[in-house]
A and B are shown apart, each in its own frame.
Chain A
Amino acid sequence: MTASVSSTAKSGEIPTTKRAEDRGEATKERLLTLLLSVGPLIAALLIASLILVLMGVDPLAYYGYIVKRGLLSPTGLQATLTGMGPMLLIAASLIVAFRAGIWNLGGDAQFLLGAVFVAASAPLLVQIMPVWAMLIISLAIGATIGAIWSIVPALLRAYQGVNEIITTMMMTFLGISFANVLVKLLFLDPATTVPQTRTLAVEDRLPRLFDTTVSSGVLIGLAAILIVHFIMARTSFGLKLRIVGANARAAIHAGLPVSALTVAVFAMSAGLSGLSGATAILGQYGNVRADWNPAYSLTIVPLVFLARFNGFATIAYVFFFSMLSIGSESAARRMGVPNYFTLVTMAVLLILLGITEMLDKRRRDRKGI
C-alpha cells in the first residue's frame, strides 16, 4: 500500500522511476515484515537473558544448552518432535473453536480425561485384540471422552447463550479433579504403590518413525492441524463456522443453523483435545499418574493467537515451544534453572509480540493501509 501512496504523491514522474520506486517500497515492506517477526524473538531472548544474569546464570550457556539439547542433539530433536504431537492436536482444537468465535478454554480437562480413559482401557484392550486395532479404538475413545466433557458448555452456549469461557473453565476444574479421582480410585494399577494407571508396554504404543524414537503421534498432530486448516479455509462448512464467529447476527440472517454449528464446533474442538490426550498416552507416557496435568491447552492458547489461527504458522510456533520445553528440562537438571523458566521466556515473547503488533497496527493506520 505504501507503494500506491507514494506513486499518487509523485504522479508527475515518469513511469519507469515509479516502477523502480514501487519495487523499492515493496522490498522495504518485506524487510519490515521480516523485522516485525524476528525482532521480538531476539528482544525477548535479550530480556530473558537479563533476568538470567540477575539470577547468576550465564544466558549464553543456558540458551546454548537448550538449543543443543532440544534441537541439535539427535535424542533432543527426537524428543522435541515427539512432544509436538499432542501440542499440535491441542492447537488444532483451539483453531477450530477460536475461528468460530467460541472460546473453548476447557481443553485441559478434555485432554486429561481423554488421556485417563485411554490409559485405563488400552492395556486391557491390547490383551484381546491386535495392537493396531487397540490403537485406533483408543484414539476414538480419547476423542469421544473429550467431546463428552464439552456437552454441558456446548448445550448451554448453543441454546441458552451462556458464556462458554466461564463454563468450559468450570468444567476444567471439575474434569481435572475427576481425572484424579479416577486414577486414584478406579483405574489404579494394583501392581504399583504410587497411584497411577496400568502402563501400556512400549512395544504396544504408537509406532515409531523409521529407526528413531520419534512417535508417529507427531504425524497425527500434523495431519490434524493441516486438515483443520484446510476445512476452515476451503470448505463451506469451515466458512459457515467462520461466519458464525465473525458476525453471529449475519449468520442468523443468512439462515445458518447457528445452534447446531455451535454444538458441532464444541464436539470437534473438544474431540481434538481428547485425541491429544490419547496421543500423549499412546505415544509418550504409557500411563497417567495421579496429579499429572501438563496444562497444554492454556499454554498453547497464546501460540495459536500469535499465529493468527493460521495452521502453518502454528506448526512453527509449536515446534519452537516444544524445543524450548525439551531443552529447558535438560537445562534445569544441568544448570539449576527451574523448568518454569521456559514460561518466562515465552511470556516475555508474548508481551513483545503484542507490543509489536500494536505498533505495526498504528503504523498501518497512519498510512491508511
Chain B
Amino acid sequence: MPSQPIVSLKGVTKRFPGIVANDTVSIDFFPGEVHVLLGENGAGKSTLVSMLSGLQQPDDGEIHIDGARKAIQSPHHALSVGIGTVFQHSMLVPSLTLVDNVNLGGRWWQNPDRPAIAARMSETARSIGVDVTPMAVTSSLSLGEQQQAEIVRALMRGSRFLILDEATAMLTPKDAEKLGLLMRRLVSQGLAVIFITHKLNEAVAYGDRISVLRLGKKVGAIAPDQLKSLGPERVTQEIVRLMFGHSEDAAPSAPAEAMPQQNADLGGAVLEILALEVDDSAVPVSGVELKIRAGEIVGVAGIDGNGQKQLAEALAGQRPVRNGRIYLDGLPIEDMSVGDRRKRGLRYVTDDRLGEGTVGAFPVSINLLLKQIGDAPFWRSGLESPALIAANARRQVVEFDIRTPSIETPAGKLSGGNIQKLLLARELTGSARAVIFAKPTYGLDLQNIAASRRRIREAADSGKAVLVFSTELDELIELSNRIAVMSQGRIVGIVDNDQSARQRIGEMMSGVAK
C-alpha cells in the first residue's frame, strides 16, 4: 500500500467573478489508485483540473508534489513533473495531423521523425484498444475520435499522473469500458489517475477512491476500503447523498419501464423528411426518411460521427440540402433560411454549445436573443431597447434556472450546464412546432441531465414534434416513442420503443459496425 501521495492539494482556493470555484479543497492523490472526482457542473472540478495542469494558479493554499510544495506554473511545467491532462474540450490543433499534434512541444530545431511517432502512436492506441489514424488531419476526425487521440497523446508523454476530464463522455460504451480497464492497468503499474465523470456507474466500477465536490467545496470522500466493503449500490446511494444532499429520487434516469406512452394520443405529422441527401466530405447523408408527429419524440441512435451532425444541420438550415424534401406542418422548408425556418417553428438545440451555440464574449442577455436580433419588441426599427432585452433575460434566467452572476456576464464564463440551460431557454421559448436536440445531455451533470430530459418531455407533451440525436442509448430509451439508428450517413432502421428495442437497436448498430 503506497504511503505517500504523488500530488496533494492543501486548502486550495480559487475565485472567479461572483463565485468561489474552489473553497479550501484538500485532497491527496495516491499512486496506484483511480481517484474519481464527482460533482455537478459548476461544482469546481474543471477549475481544480486547470490548477493541477498549470493553466491557473490557486489564490490560496498549496499544491504538494511528492511531498514537497510546488507551484505548477504552466502546462509545460505540469508535463515535466509527470502530470498529463485530457480535457473535456479538444486541445488538438485542428489543422495539424495527429502525429504533429503529438510532436507539439518537441524540440523545434529537430525535424520530427513522423513514421516513428506514428508507429509509437499506433502502438499506444492499440494498447488501450482504440484505433487512431496517426497521419489523419485532426479536423477531419469526429470529436470522439479527437478525444481518443488526446488520451493516446497524454499516455505517450509518459505521464505518471493522468487526469481524464470527462474523457469518457464521448466514447462509445464499449470504448469507455475499455478505457476503464486501461485505467485499472495503468494504476496497477503504479500510476495515479484522476478520473472525472458524470456517470456514477463508471465511478463505482473503475474508481478506487471517490471525492465529491459541491459548490466548490469537498463535501465527502469514499476511501478504498469503504468502497470495497459497501458494494456498488450502497456506494451509489452514498454518492448521490453527498452530491445532492438527499439519497432518493435523484437517480438520474428512470428505468426503461417508465418509457412514454406508445403512440397513444399523437397528433398529425409535423416534421416530415423525404429522401433527404446532404453533402459532406466525410460523412454524406443520404436516403433519410422520417416522419415525426405532434407530441412524438423520435430518437436517433448511433455512434458519434455517423452523419447525425450533418443531418441536424441540414434540418436546421445551416447546411444546404442536396436532394429531398423537408416538410414542416405540410409546407416544404428545405430551401428556407435558418431564420425563416425558425419563424415557422423549427428549433435546433446544438451540441456545440460554445463553438456555435453562443458568442462567448457577449452577455447572457444577448445570447438569449441571438436568433431574434432585430425582432420586435427587443429592437424597434433597428434600435435596441435595453430595458426589454434585460427584462427578457431576467425572466428566462429565472424560468430556466440559469445560474449566472448577472445577465451581463459573458456567456462563455458560465458552466456547461448553465450554457445548456441558456440554449434551452432560447430554443423552447415562443411558438416552437418542432425541436431538434443534438446530444442534449452531453457533458452535463446528473441534475442538469434530469432537467434537460424533463424539458424535452415537456416539449413533446405540449404537442411539439421532437427529434433527439444522442449517443446514449439509455437516454433515447427513456425518452423516445420511436428510435431510428443512424450509421454512415443513413438511417438503417427505425424501431418502436418497446421491450425488445434495446436488443434490436444493438443488432442494427453492431450489424454495421466495422
Q: Contact residues of A with B, CB < 8 Å?
A: 1, 4-5, 8, 234-237, 239-240, 242-243, 246-247, 249-250, 252-257, 366, 368-369
Contacts and interface: CB of A to CB of B under 8 A. Distances in A.
Interface in B355-389: 355-362, 366, 370-371, 373-374, 379, 382-384
A368 B17 contact: yes
B16 A236 contact: no
A249 B356 contact: yes
B57 A366 contact: yes
A234 B383 contact: yes
Contacts of A369: 17
A246 B382 contact: no
B142 interface: no
A296 to B, nearest CB: 29
26 contacts: A235-B379, A235-B382, A236-B373, A236-B374, A237-B382, A240-B374, A243-B359, A243-B370, A246-B360, A247-B361, A249-B352, A249-B355, A249-B356, A250-B355, A253-B338, A254-B373, A255-B317, A255-B337, A255-B339, A255-B341, A255-B371, A368-B14, A368-B15, A368-B16, A368-B17, A368-B59
B370 to A, nearest CB: 5
Contacts of B317: 255
B59 A247 contact: no
Nearest to A231: B382
A234 B57 CA distance: 38
B384 A239 contact: yes
Interface string B169-207: 000000000000000000000000000000000000000
A237 B57 CA distance: 40
Contact of A5 (B15, B341, B358, B373): B15
Given A254-B370, A255-B338, A246 B361 contact: yes
- Enumerate the 9 nearest inter-chain pairs by beta-carbon distance, A residue then B residue, closest first: A255-B338, A236-B374, A255-B339, A253-B356, A249-B356, A236-B379, A247-B359, A254-B370, A254-B371
Nearest to B16: A368
A240 B362 CA distance: 12
B57 A250 contact: no
A237 B379 CA distance: 10
B350 interface: yes
Contacts of A252: 318, 338, 356
Given A239-B366, A247-B356, 4 more contacts: A236-B384, A247-B360, A253-B318, A253-B350
A240 B384 CA distance: 12
Nearest to A244: B359
Contacts of A250: 355-359, 370
B17 A239 contact: no
A23 to B, nearest CB: 19
A367 to B, nearest CB: 8
A352 to B, nearest CB: 26
Contact of B383 (A235, A247, A249, A255): A235
Contacts of B59: 5, 368
B283 interface: no
B259 interface: no
B118 interface: no
A111 to B, nearest CB: 29
Contacts of B57: 366
B20 A8 contact: yes
A254 B15 contact: no
Main secondary structure of the interface of A (DSSP, over half): helix
A256 B359 CA distance: 13
A1 to B, nearest CB: 6
A368 B17 CA distance: 7
Nearest to A234: B384
B218 interface: no
Contacts of B217: none
B482 interface: no
**Which of B16, B20, B341, B359 has the most chain A CB atoms closer than 10 A to its own CB?**
B359
B443 to A, nearest CB: 18
Contacts of B342: 255
A269 B379 CA distance: 24
Contacts of B382: 235-237
Given A254-B371, A254-B373, A255-B371, A8 B359 contact: no
A257 B362 CA distance: 19
Given A236-B384, A255-B339, A243 B14 contact: no
A21 to B, nearest CB: 17
A58 B358 CA distance: 56
Contact of B373 (A243, A246, A253): A243
A150 B339 CA distance: 29
A5 B13 CA distance: 12
Contacts of B18: 4
Given A1-B17, A236-B382, A239-B366, A246 B359 contact: yes
**Which of A8, A237, A247, A252 has the most chain B CB atoms closer than 10 A to its own CB?**
A247
A163 to B, nearest CB: 14
A212 B155 CA distance: 74
A253 B357 CA distance: 7
A240 B356 CA distance: 14
Nearest to B375: A236
Contacts of B356: 247, 249-250, 252-253
Contacts of B362: 242-243, 246
A269 to B, nearest CB: 19
**Which of B316, B337, B357, B373 has the most chain A CB atoms closer than 10 A to its own CB?**
B373
Contacts of B373: 236, 239-240, 243, 254, 256
B119 to A, nearest CB: 36
A5 B16 CA distance: 9
